Amino acid sequence: MGSNGDRHVGAFNFAIVLALCLGSLTYGYSFSVTSTTLGQPAFFEYFDLSDDESSPSYAFTNRIIGGLNGCFSGGGFLGAVFSGWACDALGRKKTLLVATPIGVLGGVLQGGSVNLAMLLVGRLLGGFAVGILMVLVPLFQSEIAPPATRGFLVSQHGVVVVFGYSAAAWIGFGCYFSTTPAFQWRFPLCLQALWPLVMLALTPFLPESPRWLIMKNRTHEAWAVLGKLHDAKISSERSSFAKEELYQITHQVAEDQELARSETVWTLFTKASYRKRMICAFLVMFGSESTGILVVYNYSVLLYEGLGFTGSIPLLLAAAYVTVACCGNYISSLLVDRIGRRTSLVIGVTGCGVGLIFEAALSATYVETTNHAGLSAGVFFLFLYISFYGCFVDATTYVYCSEIFPNHIRSRGMAWSLAILFLSTVAYLIPAPTAFAQVGWKYYLLFILLTAICAPLLWIMLPETKGLALEEIGEKFGDHVAVRLTQLTSDQTAELDKVIAENSGPQSVHVEMTSAST
């Protein structure tokens, strides 16, 4: 027994992970497109905004820029809260069918905007859609991934999020050279509708989460999905592994559902093991955003302009910046199952803080000068900063928060996690244009201080979860685990052997939904 460390990833399993990543791409591109839009002079001209800091109307421009990000993040918060309910009530698959049409509508409204109100409403709807997707995608991926490779598979969400950043940056850079002013900013905004549209078309072909099916007492449907995910038809070993996982899930779900009968939403904060999870999720999401990552990226074009770069160069640097981040996220997906989640986060947050210290010092010294070496060093430390974030923090946050909650509260836990992320972005992004205009490099000091606080807290508070089945992680937070496949009792071993013997073919399986506490 105990093959729950199996590293085999079936083709069907990997295909589902990648299909779900279209939701990741929707978020990454939709969020990032604002950054490149702010580098298009035609955008400012069309909406009669000023990009001249000495202009009296520049303060209004800053409020609009802050509003664009505020609407997106506010919509994301509402979408995350909605997703916490929808994923359980409707199922993972039907929730996708709610989010994707809204994402399409948001992209169409932004690309076709004739006034600022229409643009802001489009950002709000786009944010709502990605709020749902940002909860749903890593949650869904974690529920179909084998324990030993769950970090790698769920990390693909982070990889593709940043790929979306990169795609938006390079498309924006290319559109800068268009001779049609409207095309420069309308085409990138319209393209937001493509990714959720493709996902909408693929959703009918996706399976439902086996864990959600078991929670709804649809065990045979869950087995059909698990059998495909683990290539149960290929060998008896893989079939046995799939049945072991089904055995473990059903027994843990039975125990969790017994507890859930007496639980309310407030139990998330009053029960010690749940409260510890909520605190850990808060620290992970708040700590990652408190590195200033979205502020630095979303205003990167403006930052490069502040460092003295002009024309298309800021857009080029922004595109190169997110390309480094994309590569870093893939490196992270290879590391996270080896070095662990907690170690990865602490290394990354610390490295970001160090990068910001040098960036602040160089900005204080060389901004508004013509010192080429000093300005180039400022660019270098921005790239060093994103390397630490990409390689150790970005994807890991989604991996950790998607796996620490029990099955019956996972969607609510992820909703809480992403709500913290979006609220943090609202708090940091809205004042950022004004803060950079008024205090400049000193705004970095806020994030330097926060990273210095968050890094040791992450090390102290976060239990390590690498390599454990989702149903076994609860023990790290003080919960009872119904079945440990690596430590089965004699009665559990006999019961599982009977299940496997009686169901030697991969087509059907029978597992009683009873507590496995014996």
Both tokens assigned to 77: 């918060």
- The pLDDT value recorded for residue 303 is 66
- The pLDDT value recorded for residue 484 is 78
Q: Which residue has the higher pLDDT, 489 or 280?
A: 280
Contact at 8 Å (CB) between 273 and 477?
Answer: yes
- Report the length, in residues, of the chain: 518
- The pLDDT value recorded for residue 291 is 94
pLDDT confidence bin for 276, thresholds 50/70/90: very high
Residues 6+ apart with CB under 8 A from 499: 243, 247, 509, 510, 511
Amino acid at 240: S
DSSP code of residue 452: H
- List Cβ<8 Å contacts ≥24 apart for 363-372: 363/306, 363/307, 363/440, 363/441, 363/444, 364/440, 364/441, 364/442, 366/307, 367/306, 367/307, 367/308, 367/440, 367/441, 368/308, 369/308, 370/308
- The pLDDT value recorded for residue 405 is 94
Contact at 8 Å (CB) between 10 and 239?
Answer: no
Residue 364's CB: how many other CB atoms inside 10 A?
A: 12
- The region that residue 220 occupies, defined by phi over 0 for left and psi between -120 and 50 for alpha, beta otherwise, is alpha
> Does position 517 have pLDDT exceeding 60, yes or no?
no
Question: What does each C-alpha distance from 497 to 164, 230, 504 come to in angstroms?
Answer: 46, 19, 11
- State pLDDT tens for residues 433-473: 777 778 877 888 999 999 999 999 999 999 999 988 888 99
Greatest distance between any 2 Cα atoms in the chain: 79
> Does position 506 have pLDDT exceeding 60, yes or no?
no
Q: What is the mean pLDDT of residues 386-405?
A: 94
- State pLDDT tens for residues 298-348: 666 666 776 677 777 877 887 888 889 889 999 999 999 999 999 999 999
- The pLDDT value recorded for residue 286 is 95
Residue 493, in any domain of the structure: no
Q: What is the mean pLDDT of the chain?
A: 86
* Number of domains forming the structure of the chain: 1
Q: Give the CB-side neighbour count of residue 394, counting CA atoms within 13 A.
A: 32
- State pLDDT tens for residues 133-151: 999 999 999 999 888 889 9
- The pLDDT value recorded for residue 369 is 75
CA 130 to chain centre: 10
Residue 516, in any domain of the structure: no
> Does position 289 have pLDDT exceeding 60, yes or no?
yes
Residue 52, in any domain of the structure: yes
Q: What is the pTM of this model?
A: 0.82
- State pLDDT tens for residues 77-116: 999 999 999 999 999 999 999 999 999 999 999 999 999 9
- The pLDDT value recorded for residue 516 is 42
CA 337 to chain centre: 17
- State pLDDT tens for residues 187-203: 999 999 999 999 999 99
Residue 12's CB: how many other CB atoms inside 10 A?
A: 16
Contact at 8 Å (CB) between 17 and 502?
Answer: no
Amino acid at 32: S
Residue 202, in any domain of the structure: yes
DSSP SS3 for 404:
coil
Residue 317, in any domain of the structure: yes
- State pLDDT tens for residues 340-350: 999 999 999 99
Q: Which residue has the higher pLDDT, 300 or 212?
A: 212
Alpha-carbon gap, residue 180 to 41, rounded angstroms: 12
- The pLDDT value recorded for residue 299 is 64
Q: Three-class SS string for 138-155?
A: HHHHHHHCCHHHHHHHHH
Domain assignment of residue 261, given as a range: 11-477
Residue 304, in any domain of the structure: yes
- The pLDDT value recorded for residue 379 is 82
Residue 495, in any domain of the structure: no
> Does position 364 have pLDDT exceeding 50, yes or no?
yes
- The pLDDT value recorded for residue 359 is 85
Residue 431, in any domain of the structure: yes
CATH of the domain at 186: 1.20.1250.20
